[in-house]
Amino acid sequence: MKKMNSIFIVDDDPITVFGIKKMLKPVAGCADIQIFQNGKEALNEIQERVGGSLLPEVIFLDINMPILDGWGFLEELISMNIQQPITINVITSSIDPLDLEKWYYYKARCPHTLNFKNKPIFKIELADLGYINVAS
């Protein structure tokens, strides 16, 4: 089990949020799991935490949300120039190939690790938590 300081789940679907929280229990020990209904709420919390409280180590980010969607969230996050590495799991039920193209676009621009996962999510891997097992 990986010990984590903070995880953000940014998704307006309560079933997806419930599933992610349940799947996190066996793989991540974390007392600070924050839930946000849209990207704007999550960005506000990140801005409050910059330079003070713990920034999230992992973010599960839905693409389609009201107020500020996942792509808008990524655009704002990139502009914040946060140095601490964050693993961001872009999650979507979309089958639109343009969403995958956008992911590649943001992956090339984003200083953080960007993963792409289709909904429904059946399992959370250690790579989704920023753990990369490098063979020597």
Does 132 or 84 have the greater pLDDT score? 84
Are the C-beta atoms of 81 and 110 separated by less than 8 Å?
no
Q: How confident is the model at residue 72, as a pLDDT?
A: 97
CB atoms within 10 A of CB 10: 28
Torsion 56-87-60-3 (CA) sign: negative
Instruction: Indicate whether 52 pLDDT > 80.
Output: no
Give 22-45 pLDDT, tens digit per residue: 999 999 899 899 999 999 999 999
Ordered domains of the chain (ranges, CATH): 2-129 (3.40.50.2300)
Q: How confident is the model at residue 134, as a pLDDT?
A: 41
- What is the C-alpha to C-alpha distance for residues 27 and 33, in angstroms, rounded to an integer? 14
Mean pLDDT of the chain: 91
Q: How confident is the model at residue 131, as a pLDDT?
A: 79
